[in-house]
């Protein structure tokens, strides 16, 4: 699977995630799992509802989520990252 990064994701990652070494490490681990098996139960991967029904999300920790969009069967773009309240 190929991952692209939206500019909002890059901005929010650098503000919210990268200052915390543990979150940064967990993000990298979960991305590895996502690339290998997007449906792995540990990710809690799900489609969003309402106005964001074209997007999906998976869990990094109990409250941190990555919101992404499927571009095609082999490519996704990470749109946002942050706590549940920040990204939904």
pLDDT number for residue 53: 96
Q: Which residues pair with 66 in a beta bridge?
A: 58, 81
Q: What is the CATH number of the domain that holds 21?
A: 3.30.2310.20
| Enclosing domain of residue 35 | 2-87
H helices of 1-88, in order, are 7-16, 21-36, 84-87
pLDDT number for residue 40: 97
- Regions of the chain short of the pLDDT cut 50: none
pLDDT number for residue 33: 97
pLDDT number for residue 63: 95
Q: How many domains does the chain have?
A: 1
Single out the residue of 36, 34, 73, 74 nearest to residue 57, CA to CA: 34
Single out the residue of 45, 79, 76, 75 nearest to residue 60, CA to CA: 45
pTM of the model: 0.95
pLDDT number for residue 77: 98
Q: Which residues pair with 72 in a beta bridge?
A: 75
């Amino acid at each position: 699977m190929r991952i692209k990064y939206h500019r909002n994701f890059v901005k929010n990652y650098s503000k919210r995630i990268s200052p915390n070494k543990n979150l940064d490490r967990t993000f990298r681990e979960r991305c590895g799992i996502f690339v290998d098996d997007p449906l792995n139960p540990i990710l809690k991967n799900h489609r969003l509802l309402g106005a964001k029904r074209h997007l999906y999300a998976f869990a990094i920790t109990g409250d941190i989520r990555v919101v992404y969009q499927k571009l095609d069967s082999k490519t996704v773009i990470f749109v946002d990252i942050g706590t549940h309240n920040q990204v939904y």
